[in-house]
């Protein structure tokens, strides 16, 4: 199915350097090598957390940044793993069942990876997850990963609010254990390679938007506001980045700092680890769009987010949102889209991701026959919104 936005979106990315010349094979090879060596993807006032990031990872960052003023990418958590009435069916997706296209952004969760479990806390097998991540990437989609880690002090879930961050930062009694958790993460990400020799571990790594320790402006996770000092949170974030980047050699990660709802720039930045450690500024908000009255509040919040991100050369995103069971038939256009697209600043977020479709009582995207399915089709057809079939080549 030919996408509705491909030509338009592609025309906005012509600034990406391409080296093509009708010359002999040898000359073409030399020119291509020179092009790769001398034409890095850079923009004034912009730096990535990882100066050695892979070319595909850098391309993803800058292409998302360039698309943001004109397009909103739609994302869905666990989209390929299961739906309201099915589980582990090849190439299936509730989103695709409704509109004939996959989401542009795939959200995945790796909680329980840290304890060596074969499946995550939502029973998604990690081997299946790696396969689905590579499938989405090969089709041109964007991959983002969150991590609901178990509490390292009590052994309870992420929602066990026993104070713990102090114990895993450098000098803490559980620091060595936390390093082992990051080693497991590095092994998992190391398995996300594509190409003809990927089975030998020699393929190209899949770029990942990594979003750890999210919603910390709330206090329901053990890394939340009332359970950690700003200094502890910053130390944890910076160590995590430095260990994965410098010690484990992962150069396919973009780092997303993602709060819950916030009222001001000062509140948002209270635990901010610094521009050198963040590539994307995001927020999660499940409350604002429950009512029509909340639309303006969502717009105000996104406006602040975009202004903070752009002033730092970063990407902004609505990293989690949605309305459980979506009982409002026109929620997609009259609340979500209106909160974003109608404001000249708020509309410059890169993507919005809704949560998972676990069962009839807990889902955030429509499925065939759902009360909001027809409105979701209108949302899909809107020229501002991109699904996977509308994406330009983000990794070039």
Catalytic residues: 215, 320
What token pair was written down for 254?
């973009």
**Alpha-carbon span 211 to 107, nearest angstrom:** 10
> For residue 78, which of 47, 113, 102 has the smallest C-alpha distance?
102
Strands 253-259, 280-285: pairing kind: parallel
Rounded to the nearest 5°, which phi and psi values hold at 109? -125, 130
Contacts of 293 (CB under 8 A, 6+ apart): none
Residue 42's beta-bridge partner residues?
none
Contacts of 374 (CB under 8 A, 6+ apart): 329
How far is the CA of 140 from the CAs of 207, 289, 395, in angstroms? Answer: 11, 29, 8
Sign of CA dihedral 328, 334, 335, 336: positive
What token pair was written down for 27?
């000359």
**Alpha-carbon span 375 to 128, nearest angstrom:** 31
How far is Cα of residue 4 from the mean position of the Cα atoms in its chain? 23
**Alpha-carbon span 79 to 106, nearest angstrom:** 7
> For residue 199, which of 208, 190, 210 has the smallest C-alpha distance?
190
Residue 81, H or E segment? none
For residue 269, how many other CB atoms are within 10 A of its CB?
16
How far is the CA of 30 from the CAs of 17, 21, 33, 35, 59, in angstroms? Answer: 16, 11, 5, 9, 22
Rounded to the nearest 5°, which phi and psi values hold at 130? -60, -40
Please tell me what DSSP assigns to residue 119.
B
Please tell me what DSSP assigns to residue 101.
S
Strands 315-321, 385-386: pairing kind: unpaired
**Alpha-carbon span 254 to 63, nearest angstrom:** 13
């Amino acid at each position: 199915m030919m996408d509705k936005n491909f030509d338009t979106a592609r025309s906005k990315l012509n600034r990406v350097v391409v080296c093509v010349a009708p010359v002999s094979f040898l000359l073409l090879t030399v020119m291509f090598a020179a092009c790769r060596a001398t034409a890095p993807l850079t923009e004034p006032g912009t730096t990535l957390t990882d100066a050695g990031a892979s070319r595909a990872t850098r391309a993803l960052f800058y292409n998302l940044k360039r698309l943001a003023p004109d397009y909103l990418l739609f994302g869905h958590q666990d989209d390929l793993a299961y739906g309201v009435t099915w589980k582990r069916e090849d190439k299936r997706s509730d989103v695709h069942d409704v509109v004939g296209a996959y989401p542009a952004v795939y959200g995945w969760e790796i909680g329980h990876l840290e304890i060596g479990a074969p499946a995550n806390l939502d029973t998604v097998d990690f081997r299946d997850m790696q396969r689905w991540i590579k499938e989405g990437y090969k089709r041109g989609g964007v991959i983002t990963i969150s991590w609901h880690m178990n509490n390292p002090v009590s052994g309870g879930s992420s929602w066990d609010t026993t104070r713990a961050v102090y114990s895993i930062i450098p000098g803490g009694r559980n620091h060595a254990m936390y390093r082992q958790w990051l080693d497991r993460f590095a092994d998992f990400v190391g398995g996300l390679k594509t190409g003809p020799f990927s089975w030998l571990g020699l393929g190209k790594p899949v770029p990942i938007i990594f979003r750890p320790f999210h919603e910390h402006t709330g206090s329901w996770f053990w890394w939340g506001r009332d359970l950690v000092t700003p200094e502890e949170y910053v130390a944890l974030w910076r160590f995590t980045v430095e260990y994965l980047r410098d010690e484990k050699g992962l150069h396919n990660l973009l780092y997303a700092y993602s709060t819950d709802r916030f009222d001001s720039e000062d509140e948002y930045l209270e635990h901010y680890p610094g521009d050198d450690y963040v590539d994307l500024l995001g927020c999660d908000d499940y409350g604002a769009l429950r009512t029509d009255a909340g639309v303006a509040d969502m717009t105000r919040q996104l406006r602040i987010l975009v202004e903070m991100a752009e002033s730092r050369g970063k990407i902004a995103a609505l990293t989690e949102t949605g309305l459980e069971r979506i009982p409002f038939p026109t929620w997609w256009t009259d609340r979500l889209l209106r909160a974003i697209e109608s404001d000249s600043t708020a509309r410059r977020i890169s993507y919005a991701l809704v949560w998972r479709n676990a069962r009839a009582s807990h889902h955030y995207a429509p499925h065939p026959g759902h009360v909001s399915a027809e409105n979701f089709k209108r949302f899909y057809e809107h020229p501002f919104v991109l699904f996977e079939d509308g994406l330009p080549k983000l990794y070039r």
